Amino acid sequence: MYRQGDVLIVPLDEAAVPPHAADAPQEPRDARGRLVLALGEVTGHAHAVLGPGRLLREPGAVGPLLLHLPDGGRVVHEEHAAIPLPKGWYRVVRQREYVPGSVRLVAD
Amino acid sequence: MTATVGTAGTTGVTGGIGGAGAVGPVGAGGAAEPAGVPAGAAAGDVDGWRAVAAATGPADRAAAEAGVRLAYRRAGLAEPERIVWAGSPRAALRLLREAPDGPCGPAARGRSVREAVRSAPWAAERGRLNELLGARGWGRRWAVTGARLWETTERLADRIRAGLVEEAAGGPADEAEVRLLLLDAVLGQHDAAWLCAFGTEPGSPLEGLAAVARSAGWWWPYERLAVVCERPVELHRDEAGRLDRGDGPALAYGDGFALHAWRGMPVPAAFPAELRALTPERIRTEENAELRRVMLEFYGYDRYLRESRAKPVHRDDTGVLWRIPLPDDEDVAMVEVVNSTPEPDGTSRTYWLRVPPDTRTARQGVAWTFGLEADAYAPLRET
């Protein structure tokens, strides 16, 4: 697994990819053609993947996201070093924080 | 005019929490629409509507009034005889609650036409697109447009409604009256989330509504008059899009209507001033657990830990686990984590995350923040 700031990218066995993934709506790429894993609301800084692939949103407001990179790719961010990702499927998990009575996401 | 987006005065942008943001045109990522979707069915750009929802500064009154009149005409209604401006939704409610025979009272305004002006055209457009794209296609369209903006925009509108009810309502009867009037409101800029899923180009059924949204705040359409509000003058949010400000109102209108919040949590108006004068003793003695949490966050966990001479509970290669016992409350358990990528000046940023109070090790705490068990958390690479 790989971690870039508040985003964890966990390799997923092909066998563990949910069947609906084949047909699930894809997240659109941003204006720069990237797959955006997480977007900072104020700074606009993004954890984003370059290269061919698909990003699928699992049910629920905050994901997780499924990422398929048939040829591998690179996850980049304005404030973090890039991480090369081997080809395959991944689950993308946002970091959360404990709040008594609820849970909230971290935004770095 | 409708092709441009009113971004003047924008102080920030918003979007769905979790923010895997769609910022390209619909279809750019493969959520392509079926062939044969005619011109005029294309959805607007998410980024532009995101900016509309977060826009601050004076309304473009001429554009908004033209939009109001157009929306009435498209609904098959006569244009309103008068368009009255209000500094905020609070001021609009005051106008509408004046004496029954007042200039904006029930007699002068006639019945609400929100259904005809806003809801019916919206439902018709949704039905038409559902037909055109199929239920699945419509679902896809929504997922890459409106769903992106829905959560943060709806949350903001909810907070405004709650603030209006709290301020305006003197008793149960007052509260019911305010709530009923709020049902008549069209949300203007805060309708951006759903407008974004539809075509709003010249000639389209939603053109007038979209024009008001791009130029003004909330508005109330009645048979004989429309009351239209200015946009806020200040809007401060955190990276997750929640209202957030430590030194003043997080949302403020020019006429003084304001909401205070810290990382999304509503706080009393006097609270920010109090935050600046905090002491560990004051934090310890705060009885409201939520306010105490805000105080701790504002004060800084690290500073509080230092000054209260807290000891680290556990340390491993993922970070340090701390615990702060609080009287009559569960312990605050925190993991201290060092950001793996150095800042431009070469230093490493330390940050603190609250974890469940039963956390025993730093690794268990960090793993929990990603929904994992301690032994499953093993990044090959971290930056």
pLDDT of residue B171: 73
Residue A29 and residue B29 in contact, taking contact as beta carbons nearer than 8 Å: yes
pLDDT of residue B189: 98
Start-to-end Cα distance in chain B:
45
pLDDT of residue A60: 57
Helices and strands in chain A, H and E counts: 0, 11
Phi (first) and psi of residue A103, to 5 degrees: -135, 140
Q: Which residue of B has its CA nearest to A106?
A: B240
Q: Which of B279, B244, B277, B214 is nearest to B65 (CA)?
A: B214
CA distance A15 to chain B (A): 19
**DSSP code for B358:** T
Q: How many domains does chain A have?
A: 1
Beta bridge partners of residue B210, listed in sequence order: none
Residue numbers in A near B15 (CB within 8 A): 39, 41
CA distance A92 to chain B (A): 10
Residue B260 and residue B271 in contact, taking contact as beta carbons nearer than 8 Å: yes
Place of tokens 């400000």: B245
**Radius of gyration of chain B, Cα coordinates, nearest whole angstrom:** 25
- Distance separating alpha carbons of residues B196 and B126, to the nearest angstrom: 12
Name the residue with higher pLDDT: A6 or A23: A6
Peptide bond between residue B280 and the one before it cis (omega within 30 degrees of 0):
no
Place of tokens 């005409």: B73
Go through B27-60 and write b for each residue having 16 or more CB atoms within 10 A of its CB, e for each that does not.
Answer: bbbebebeeebeeebbbbbbbbbbbbbbbbbebb
Residue numbers in A near B289 (CB within 8 A): 100
Residue numbers in B near A79 (CB within 8 A): 341
**DSSP code for B189:** G
A16-68 tens-digit pLDDT:
888 878 777 788 888 888 999 988 766 778 899 988 999 988 765 455 789 99
CA distance A59 to chain B (A): 11
Q: Which amino acid is at B300?
A: G
Residue B291 and residue B278 in contact, taking contact as beta carbons nearer than 8 Å: no
Residue numbers in B near A27 (CB within 8 A): 20, 22, 29, 31, 144
pLDDT of residue B78: 97
Total-model pTM: 0.70
Q: Which of B241, B260, B311, B327 is nearest to B17 (CA)?
A: B241
CB-CB under 8 Å, A100 with B383: no
Strand, coil or helix: B307: helix
Name the residue with higher pLDDT: A80 or B257: B257
Spell out the alpha helix ranges (H) of chain B: 46-54, 61-74, 89-96, 106-109, 114, 120-144, 146-168, 172-183, 192-195, 207-215, 271-275, 280-285, 289-299, 301-307, 362-369
pLDDT of residue B338: 74
pLDDT of residue B117: 97
CA distance A107 to chain B (A): 6
ipTM of the complex: 0.86
Q: Which residues of chain B have pLDDT under 50?
A: 1-32, 36, 38-40
Spacing of C-alpha A4 from chain mean position: 10
Identify the domain containing residue A42 by its residue range.
2-105
CB-CB under 8 Å, B370 with A93: yes
Strand, coil or helix: B141: helix
**DSSP code for B204:** S
Residue numbers in A near B341 (CB within 8 A): 5, 79-81
Choosing among B323, B343, B369, which should be mutated to test the A contact, i.e. which has the most A CBs within 10 A?
A: B369
